[in-house]
Structure 1
Amino acid sequence: MRIATFNVNGIRAARRRGFGTWLARTDPDVVALQEVRCPEAALPDEAFGGYHAAYDAGARAGRNGVAILTRKHPAAVRTLDPAGYDFTLARELRAYADQGRYIEVDLADAPLTVASVYVPKGGLPAHLQIPARMREAPDGGAAFERKLRFMAGMTRHLNRSRRSAAARGREFIVMGDFNAAHREADVANWRRSKTSVGFLPQERAWLEDLLGPRTLVDVVRRLHPDQAGPYTWWSWLGTTYAADAGWRIDFHFASPGLARTARRTWVDREVDGIRMSDHAPVCVDYAI
């Protein structure tokens, strides 16, 4: 089974840059999408090819939006609506119920639950905010604190979702844009990035706590333990893309049983020489 995750940074823009061609050539069985950024009524015809799309656009027009594409209509679909779960939704996530940041499905053709997540970008803590070095106005650490609350709630949510899936005889995988890098090998210029959003100690510690041999496994890192990257995000600005000086912030985090079946991983940087997004799809072949 071929499974991919991709932050498209706007499905309409990604389609103009070759998303449809990538989808047809790669032929994945499941795709998790983030930043679809399109109201459901405004989606272009055949936006997702011939796939069934479980989509949470959220209430913020032109922002966020997560989806999961499957070959068959999923057996169940859940967002951050508390009514969809057999457990209590983490209180920190209630404020995000209408933001289009999380969706999960039970596949109809495999004993697998698949989730797509788009973690907030966040910001710097107050003590690191130096106005002269910031593109945005200082906020006293408000965005940083909001991200910490989201991450704390998401930890509990993923643990509960994984256990719920296991109780129903299903493996579990969460994919997406986590807006955080875990290890030094995940950031090309990691020494200069220690005080940057996405590589702060609290963000790295969150990923460390989320992962474990009995909980969730970083599938790409399991197969490539010593590789720099493979990077999944590069700024549109400057020469970082040409130099492959990126960040690995898009992940496959799978339950141990599923992770053991992973056979091959790759990152699709371009389609016919064109970048589809500031992110790139991360693809994994699983022997299931």
Structure 2
Amino acid sequence: MGFTVTSFNVNGIRAARRRGFDDWLADRSPDVVGLQELRCPASEVGEFRGYSAAVDVGSIPGRNGVALLTRHEPAAVRSWAAVPPKARGLGAYSDHGRYIEVDLADRPLTVACLYLPKGGLPAHLQRPGGMRAEMDGGAKYKRKMAFLAGFARELDRNRLAAARAGRDFTLIGDLNVAHVEHDVTNWRAARKMEGFLPEEREWFSSLLSPRRLVDVVRQTHGDQPGPLTWWSWAGESFSKDVGWRVDHQLASPALARRAEAVWVDKEPSPDARLSDHAPLSVRYRD
């Protein structure tokens, strides 16, 4: 039978539920679901039928928030709110609701869920009137790069802790970085956009190694365009399938070897969208 792990940036769990998230969950029935951008207080997250939910909504009203849904109550839950990150540069994010991980009770696997900051452009790429956000002298870019550096160290620590405990490890979530050209429809133009800057892509490459973590989506999908996971709400990006893959699943080598299928649940029409992202799933052999 195998088991399925899904990552889904819901862009507001209350809005996603109004659009049909619970029907999607009941129909697809993945074994583990990582959610990002809950964007609501803990009291309004609600329950998920058939799942135990580990949640960290953070302290910033209407922002961030992550959760991991599992079929059985986890053997252990660790969020940055409860166990602050040790890597330098991450302490300021401990109450932002960006990271949570669980040890599954029914198999030797640690699942981590991350919502990584979007960031911005470095100062030399910012142009008046040429940006969606206000010019900030590269402040958001610098914060993101510091986060990336710190998180790489934190990720190594957590991955190794799982290995010492005899557990496989997978990191899932919205990493707000597209890694290779196949991950962006208009990749040439994207080279000067946040999320596809050369230094962001280099950071992503540094996480990957046959002995450390494997991009199981790219491994399984192959060296071909997609699978895309995000499309702008604006214009006809969704209908024309012009988007990005910023949602990822990275797995420890032994787990990666058991990946047998990957898919994105892209809705049939713009009106049926649950979020500006679509769920990204990987099925593993038992």
TM-score (norm 1): 0.95
Q: 2:130, 2:96 → 1: CA distance? A: 29
Aligned to 2:59: 59
Instruction: Report how far residue 17 of structure 1 moved.
Output: 1.1
- Is residue 2:196 matched to residue 1:196? no
Question: Contact (CA 8 Å) 1:22, 1:271: kept in 2 or not?
Answer: no
- Is residue 2:284 matched to residue 1:286? yes
Instruction: Report how far residue 84 of structure 1 moved.
Output: 3.7
Instruction: Report how far residue 132 of structure 1 moved.
Output: 1.4
Instruction: Report how far residue 271 of structure 1 moved.
Output: 7.1
Instruction: Report how far residue 135 of structure 1 moved.
Output: 2.3
SS at match of 1:91: coil
Could you report, residue by residue, the CA deviation over 1:83-108 in whole angstroms, capped at 9, with x for unpaired residues?
748xx710211010000000000001
SS at match of 1:131: coil
Structure 2 residue corresponding to 1:92, chosen from 89, 92, 101:
89
Instruction: Report how far residue 70 of structure 1 moved.
Output: 0.4
Question: Contact (CA 8 Å) 1:173, 1:253: kept in 2 or not?
Answer: yes
Q: 1:132, 1:24 → 2: CA distance? A: 45
Question: Contact (CA 8 Å) 2:32, 2:70: kept in 1 or not?
Answer: yes
1:128-143 equivalence runs, <5 A: 128-143=125-140
Question: Contact (CA 8 Å) 2:216, 2:249: kept in 1 or not?
Answer: yes
Aligned to 2:257: 260
1:95-244 equivalence runs, <5 A: 95-244=92-241
Structure 2 residue corresponding to 1:277, chosen from 271, 275, 278:
275
Aligned to 2:34: 32
Q: 1:129 to 1:279 in 2, by over 3 A?
A: same
Structure 2: state its 5+ residue gaps. Answer: none
Q: 1:3, 1:215 → 2: CA distance? A: 19
Q: 1:153, 1:271 → 2: CA distance? A: 39
Runs of 4+ in structure 1 deviating by more than 6 angstroms, as ranges, are none
Q: Percent identity?
A: 59
Judge which range, 148-157 or 131-140, deviates more.
131-140
Q: Which amino acid is 1:74 matched to?
A: P
SS at match of 2:89: helix
Structure 1: state its 5+ residue gaps. Answer: none
Question: Contact (CA 8 Å) 2:38, 2:45: kept in 1 or not?
Answer: no
Q: How many residues end up aligned between the 2 structures?
A: 283
Could you report, residue by residue, the CA deviation over 1:200-244 in whole angstroms, capped at 9, with x for unpaired residues?
011101101011111110001001222201100000001111111
